[in-house]
Structure formats: structure tokens, C-alpha cells
Amino acid sequence: MYMFRMFLLGLLAFGCSGQPRGAFRIGIDPLWYPLDFGPQTSYVNGYTEELLLEMAGYGGMRFELVRANFDTLLEGMRGGQYDAVITTLPPYEYNLAKYDFSKNLLDLGSVLIVPKRAFKRDLSDLDGEMIGIITHDPAALIVAKYPGLILRTYSTIPDLLNGVVNGDIQGALLNQVPAINFVGDLYAKVLEIAGKPLSNEGIHLVGPKGGIQLFEKNLETLRKKKRISALQKKWNLSL
């Protein structure tokens, strides 16, 4: 299995010519706490690394990744150990007041999982029906927007998805990354993902105010060239 080089080196540099300043240093927690991608962690890390390599080739930037713990990630940026961080930090108003957020490098929002070829494929169609989530999943906030839905919680992803298969619940909400893995593999014949993420959580670059414009510009270039979608497909992270 592909292993993210930061696990071995702790410090990883990407180089290319044409960048007038030193390397753009990025702090990152390769374990992605508080999220748990499980077996997909190496895929998320591999995608992130290759995305930066692509950006270096297209945009003339030079990157240096610095491994950090989640609880010291922002502190390290404020202390000047790196210029920005790649993180799942939510873009709440009080965070937006302090930092600039890039567009998502990878969407992590909840998706609706339903039986294969189900007629009802939207939460608005499931009024009065039972929807499952993992215990303590923020997806409960999505369910709360639909008063007619009945919420049921499960402790594990297999239990949740088996609930849909067995008809105990009519649909499940799950983070996009594990949803793609489970529905595309073990449950491919019986379940499917209905539509795009229902919330805007994601992995993004976060930096000081005014400090990530060049990164944003190069990220948009990759998006227009459809390289981001191609990389997500390569790493089995796209719908």
C-alpha cells in the first residue's frame, strides 16, 4: 500500500524553478485528527502530496511539508514554523475572522446512501422515514433541518450500512471518504450514493490573512485543467 513519505521523513520538500522566494512551508497532521479516515488515511495523504506536486509543476511554487500534531498545528503557524496549514478546520465565522481559507482540496461532507436503484434519493423525499448516522457525527445537524426525519444512531459503519441493506433504516448519512470506500467495494451491489455532499466540510489550506493568494490562484488553475478531479479519481476519493 502507498505510504505517505512524511511518515518516514517528518519533513518533505517539493522543488521546482521559478519561485522567487523560499519554499512555502505547510504544516500538516497526517493523521487528520479529529477525523478518522481509517484505511483511507494513506490515500488521503497520497492525494494531498500529489496535488502539491502537480501545483509545483504548473504554478512554479516550491513546497515544504512539516509534520505537526493537531493540537499544535495553528500555534506552529502563528509562531512562524510554517506559512500555512492543511487542515479540516471548519470555516466558522470566528475562524474566518482570523485566517484565510482556500477552497476545499477535498470535500468531506456527508453523503446520502440509499439502496441500489431506490426511488427516494433526497432527504426531502424521506419525510417520516428513518435515517441513520454514526454516533456523534455532525451529520445530525443536517438531519435536524428536516423535522420529518427520524434519526437512528449506530456505533460502526458496517452496522450503519447493514441497517440500510436490511431495511431497518431507509438511508444513511456518512462522510464522503468512507462512503466511497464502503459503497464502492463491500456494498457495491446493494447500496449507492445519492448525489453530492450535503455539507461543505473539507480539507483546505488555511493561512494568515492575505497569505495564500498565490496558492489559491494555482489551485484554481488545477481545477480548470480538471487535474483535481483526475487525482481524486486516481486515489479513489471521488464520487
Asked if the model's pLDDT at residue 26 lies above 70, the reply is yes
Contact 152, 161 (CB under 8 A): no
The average pLDDT across 177-189 equals 94
pLDDT of residue 239: 79
pLDDT of residue 21: 54
The average pLDDT across 111-129 equals 94
The average pLDDT across 90-111 equals 95
Q: 98 vs 71, 87, 90, 95, CA distance in Å? A: 17, 15, 12, 5
The average pLDDT across 118-145 equals 94
pLDDT of residue 15: 36
pLDDT of residue 215: 94
Give the sheet arrangement for strand 191-194, strand by strand. Answer: 150-154, 130-134, 171-175, 110-115, 191-194
pLDDT of residue 3: 38
What are the two backbone dihedrals, phi and then psi, of residue 183, each rounded to the nearest 5 degrees?
-70, -30
The average pLDDT across 29-42 equals 92
Contact 159, 86 (CB under 8 A): no
Beta bridge partners of 207: 100
Query: How many residues are there in the chain?
Result: 239
pLDDT of residue 163: 98
The chain-wide mean pLDDT, for the chain, equals 89
CA dihedral sign, ordered 170, 161, 186, 122: positive
pLDDT of residue 61: 84
